[in-house]
Amino acid sequence: MSNKTARFIPSIRLSQYDVVNTKGEDMGQVQTFVIDMHEGMVAFALVAFGGFFHITDKWFAIPWSALKWQPEKKNFLLSMSENVLKDAPGMDKDKWLEVIEQWQEENDLELVDRYYTTHGYESYKGVIQKKVTNLGDRKPDAKFEVNMDVAGEYRFKLVALNGQTIAVSQGYNAKESALEGIESVRKNAPIAVIDDATDQEPAK
C-alpha cells in the first residue's frame, strides 16, 4: 500500500483493513459495508472477528457510528467491550447475504438496534431520524403541541398524525422553557439509550 493517508476507500479493498481495539490489538477485519440505498448512507459494517476472538463462523453487523476510521494507521478503531461483542447478534458468514436481503425497513433492524442501544450505542433508526430532522426531507409522523394546563403551567405533548398522544411533558412556568424542552427532546431522543426496567425486580 501507499504511505499516504487513506480517506476515500473503495469497498472492494475493505478486507485489507483491520479492526483494532483501543489497545491496538487486532480484532478482525471489515468484510463489506451495508449501504442504505434509500437514505444514501452506510448503515453497518460487516466485521469478521477472527482476531483474538477467534470467531470464524459468524459475521457481525457493527453500527457505523461505533467505528472510527484511522487514516494514518489505515484501520478501524472499535471502542466496544469484549463482553458486548461476544453476545452481539451475528449471522452465518456463508448466509449473510440472505440476512441482509430480508432488511427492507428500519423495523427489520429491530433486533440489532435494540441490542446496541441497550449498550449505549446510537440506533440506526435514531441515525435516520436525525438525518430527517436535519434535512427536513420527509413529511413528519408527529407534531409537538404546546398548551396551558388548568394550573396555569405550560406543557408540551408529542402527538401522532392520527391524533394519539405519544408523550406529555412536565409543567413549565414559562412558555420559552416548554419550547426549550421540545428542542431538548428533538436533540436527545434519537441517541437516547433504552433502559428496560421491566427486567428489574419490583421495589419492596
Among candidate residues 124, 126, 159, the one with its CA nearest the CA of residue 144: 159
User: What is the reported pLDDT for 176?
Assistant: 92
User: What is the reported pLDDT for 132?
Assistant: 65
User: What is the reported pLDDT for 1?
Assistant: 46
User: What is the reported pLDDT for 135?
Assistant: 56
Task: Report the chain (204 residues): mean pLDDT per 10 consecutive residues.
Answer: 66 84 90 86 88 81 90 90 86 91 82 87 77 61 90 94 91 94 86 74 62
User: What is the reported pLDDT for 171?
Assistant: 95
User: What is the reported pLDDT for 187?
Assistant: 82
User: What is the reported pLDDT for 87?
Assistant: 87
Measured between alpha carbons, how far is 77 from 175 in angstroms, rounded to an integer?
Answer: 44
DSSP codes joined into one string, the chain: --SS---S--GGGGGGSEEE-TT--EEEEEEEEEEETTTTEEEEEEEE--STT---SEEEEEEGGGEEEETTTTEEEE---HHHHHTS-EEETTTHHHHHHT--SGGGGHHHHHHHHTTTPPPHHHHHHHHHHHH--S--SEEEEEEE-TTS-EEEEEEETTS-EEEE---BSSHHHHHHHHHHHHHHGGGPPP--GGGSPPP-
Other CB atoms within a 10 A radius of the CB of residue 89 amount to 13
**Which residue segments constitute the domains of the chain, with CATH numbers given?**
11-121 (2.30.30.240), 139-191 (3.30.160.160)
Measured between alpha carbons, how far is 14 from 59 in angstroms, rounded to an integer?
Answer: 14
